[in-house]
Structure 1
Amino acid sequence: MGEWVWPAYVGVLGGVLLFGVFMVPIVAVQYRMYGRFTWRRFLGAAGLSVYGVALVAYTLLPLPDPTLLQCPPGGSTFQAVPLQFLDDIQRETAGLGITGTLASRATLQVVFNVVLFIPWGVIARQYLSWSMPVSVLTGALASGLIEATQFTGLWGLYGCSYRVADVDDLITNTLGALIGALIAPLVLWFMPQRGELRASRGQSRPVTVWRRWLGMIIDYAALAFFGFAFVVSYRIALLTLGAELPANGDGTSLILMHLVPGFLVFYLPAIVGSGASLGQRAVWLQPQWPAARRRALLRASVTGGLYTALTFLDGLYPSAGFGFLNSLLLLVALVAVPLTRSRGLSGVLTGTLMVDARENARRRVAGSDVQAE
């Protein structure tokens, strides 16, 4: 049973790590799609991550050592006889009783292939809100992709298949997806449906401390992502052109890592539209102030701009204490939110209130209706 248990551990560990990497984008997308945060769909995304990694682990791992892989004379093998597993079970359990037959490896292999794709049907039908045919069809397509990956030796990375591609796996996996889709309403009865959540997407909600903090987290996650992407792209471009890679901490890399992302995350949104940062827009927040664009730029400079400048200076002068000042700034910015009724440090210093963007939109519509009358 060990070979059927260890992929479960890989799925849990790898799924948790994968979910941790994409946790902030998942929350941001959830807010934009549904207008609010829901714990049940958040935990559903975690379960989806674990299942996805476990599915890969069970079907494609472990990868063999290419030097030890012995390819048959005909190359990759494919079992193309439908329901061949019935003959295999009959042959391997000849002379055994019912208990022995049910506990045999051949029987358990078939049962496991069905069980492996039951979560697919459950997730597709009840979490992703796909129809029954689409849930089953996507399960069949996923199984077919797995079998093709096995048959081609990881799409040519190996000289032949390192696992036997089997049409019976496709049949049993599809059956599992069908069973999962049928029982999905019973298994995930507590899961809010996408259509129901989208129906209340436009409803304004209170500006809470947690919502303000979440917007800040999204901002700084976007800042880190853009910085990493720009620096990696810059170094790949240098390698492509045959240029020598600069040492860590060079001026161009620091600008791409800190200043350019800071402009994109904090300053560009401040001069476009509502003036809200990327994170604030993600959670439907919007600053409200007297009509003056310079206040938007000032608010962007108080925390986001100052944070960007301090990280840039810390990269130039690592021992000058700018890193400590940055940590202190973040601490003050976080603590200020609950102490200022969710206005935050930048809001207090610039005379800004933070409101729900949907409420502002409704007021504008109501005002235009009054003027039209």
Structure 2
Amino acid sequence: MSTYLFPVKMALMLFPFLALVLALPVFVGQYRRYGSFVFWRAVVIYTFIFYLLTAYFMVILPLPTVASVAKMTGPTYNLVPFKVVSDFFKQTVFVLSDPATWLAALKQNVVIQPLFNLLLTLPFGVYLRYYFKRSLKQVLLLSFGLSLFFELTQLTGLYGIYPRPYRLFDVDDLMLNSLGGLLGGLLAPALMRLFPTREQMDAKAYERGQRVTFTRRLVAFLIDNVIAVGLFTMVVGLVAQLLHVTAFVDASGLGNTIPQLMVFLFWPAVAGGQTLGKKLVRIRIVKRDGAACGFWRLAWREFLLYGVAYWALRGLIWSTTELFSKMHQTPVDWLLFGLTLGATLFFLVDILVVGLRRTRAFHDVWAGTTQISTVERPVETESGSSAK
């Protein structure tokens, strides 16, 4: 039993790290598709990845040393089907006429190992039917494919790491794994009654995806300011070096201004009101009536946010340094401090109100713009399927 529990323990230890790496692309894809993410969907995806990790660990662990594998002389494969049945009668204490031997026989390894092979892919079949909506035929074929992958992993000595297989490639395992997946597919409809259906999750996700939440706007803001601006800043710096105008670009502030203009003005003007971040989270800047934004309206909107708000914060930092660090406490310094402090507090309160009350930000209100979701709910066809 410890042979099977060890891989589970290893999976539990590694899961928080591996699952995050493996699930992140799936989460991004789901968010891109629906414009939101349902908690139960996250649970399903996370547990599915955990299951696959555990199953894979059961196939390869515990890892022996290369030297010990090199000394092995036993068979590397079994191509005789139903050998597990003959082994049961040959290697167990089972006697049909003696019921006292039945329970003892079930506790022997020749029974436990096939049972684990049967159970190994049972969750796989459940997931395929419940979440991925596969037919029983597809469940059987995919379960066979997963089992074949496991068996080839063993036959190749963990992809050539070992000089020979350290576990047996067994045709019975292929059949038991395939049967286990099919059994899971058959059990799935009964289990599906206890949990939200895939259709219910999709409907809820699409419903949420129609709302432009503060979280979506924040994610777009971070992507634009960290990734997009960062990339354009690198490009501007590289071009400045090639043209030998780095000193001028740095002194004039063009190294910061050009990337901001490219990301927040010229890019959305060409892309129909979408920056890189907004495109990834599927939102768009439009006029209040839903019409497309013109260049000058976008320019006014971005000026309010990045021309006024950004420089107000920069001015507050500068005036604070002048007043309380360098002790340059002139009336002009105090006036600048008061103006920039008031503006900065206004912007912070505005962000707080937007986050709590889901209202439009000040720059959208003053520019006459709003942000809409570009997520489209699939249209149901006459056959009951959905199409975009």
What is the TM-score normalised by the length of structure 2?
A: 0.64
Cα deviation for residue 260 of structure 1 reads 12
1:8: which partner in 2? 8
Separation in structure 2 between the aligned mates of residue 4 and residue 260 of structure 1, nearest angstrom: 59
Change over 3 Å in CA distance of 1:282–1:67 after alignment to 2:
same
1:188: which partner in 2? 192
Is the aligned partner of 1:197 residue 2:195? no
Q: After superposition, give the CA deviation of every residue in 1:122-169 in whole Å (9 maximum; x if it has no partner).
A: 111111111111111001011011101110112222211121111111
Separation in structure 1 between the aligned mates of residue 88 and residue 260 of structure 2, nearest angstrom: 63
Change over 3 Å in CA distance of 1:269–1:54 after alignment to 2:
farther
Change over 3 Å in CA distance of 1:100–1:73 after alignment to 2:
closer
Change over 3 Å in CA distance of 1:224–1:186 after alignment to 2:
farther
Separation in structure 2 between the aligned mates of residue 105 and residue 22 of structure 1, nearest angstrom: 34
Separation in structure 2 between the aligned mates of residue 262 and residue 8 of structure 1, nearest angstrom: 49
Is the aligned partner of 1:18 residue 2:23? no
Say which SS state the counterpart of residue 287 (structure 1) adopts: strand
Assess if the C-alpha contact under 8 Å between 1:276 and 1:285 holds in 2.
yes
| Structure 1 vs Structure 2 CA RMSD | 4.3
What one-letter code is carried by the residue in structure 2 that aligns with 1:91? Answer: K
2:374: which partner in 1? 357
Aligned pairs for 1:51-70 (under 5 A) are 51-70=51-70
1:213: which partner in 2? 215
Assess if the C-alpha contact under 8 Å between 2:35 and 2:282 holds in 1.
yes
Change over 3 Å in CA distance of 1:37–1:112 after alignment to 2:
same
Assess if the C-alpha contact under 8 Å between 2:32 and 2:280 holds in 1.
yes
1:327: which partner in 2? none
Change over 3 Å in CA distance of 1:280–1:53 after alignment to 2:
same
1:142: which partner in 2? 146
Separation in structure 2 between the aligned mates of residue 58 and residue 333 of structure 1, nearest angstrom: 54
Say which SS state the counterpart of residue 286 (structure 1) adopts: strand
Q: After superposition, give the CA deviation of every residue in 1:195-250 in whole Å (9 maximum; x if it has no partner).
A: 9837995997333xxx3314533664698789999xxxxxxxxxxxxxxxxxxxxx
Separation in structure 2 between the aligned mates of residue 11 and residue 346 of structure 1, nearest angstrom: 48
Cα deviation for residue 50 of structure 1 reads 0.7
Separation in structure 1 between the aligned mates of residue 46 and residue 173 of structure 2, nearest angstrom: 27
Change over 3 Å in CA distance of 1:353–1:224 after alignment to 2:
closer
2:118: which partner in 1? 114
| The 10-residue stretch of structure 1 (178-187 or 21-30) with the greater mean CA deviation from structure 2 | 21-30
What one-letter code is carried by the residue in structure 2 that aligns with 1:217? Answer: V
Is the aligned partner of 1:273 residue 2:271? yes
What one-letter code is carried by the residue in structure 2 that aligns with 1:338? Answer: G
Q: After superposition, give the CA deviation of every residue in 1:283-305 in whole Å (9 maximum; x if it has no partner).
A: 442222483325546767857xx
Separation in structure 1 between the aligned mates of residue 257 and residue 112 of structure 2, nearest angstrom: 58
- State the number of aligned residues: 306
Separation in structure 2 between the aligned mates of residue 4 and residue 21 of structure 1, nearest angstrom: 25
Is the aligned partner of 1:90 residue 2:89? yes
Separation in structure 2 between the aligned mates of residue 41 and residue 120 of structure 1, nearest angstrom: 16
Separation in structure 2 between the aligned mates of residue 260 and residue 162 of structure 1, nearest angstrom: 60
Say which SS state the counterpart of residue 69 (structure 2) adopts: coil
Separation in structure 1 between the aligned mates of residue 257 and residue 154 of structure 2, nearest angstrom: 46
Aligned pairs for 1:288-327 (under 5 A) are 288-289=286-287, 291-293=293-295, 296=298, 302=305
Change over 3 Å in CA distance of 1:73–1:95 after alignment to 2:
closer
What one-letter code is carried by the residue in structure 1 that aligns with 2:149? Answer: L
Separation in structure 1 between the aligned mates of residue 272 and residue 42 of structure 2, nearest angstrom: 28
| The 10-residue stretch of structure 1 (155-164 or 346-355) with the greater mean CA deviation from structure 2 | 346-355
What one-letter code is carried by the residue in structure 2 that aligns with 1:285? Answer: I
2:76: which partner in 1? 77
Give structure 1 stretches of 5+ with no counterpart: 230-257, 311-330, 360-373
Assess if the C-alpha contact under 8 Å between 1:216 and 1:279 holds in 2.
no
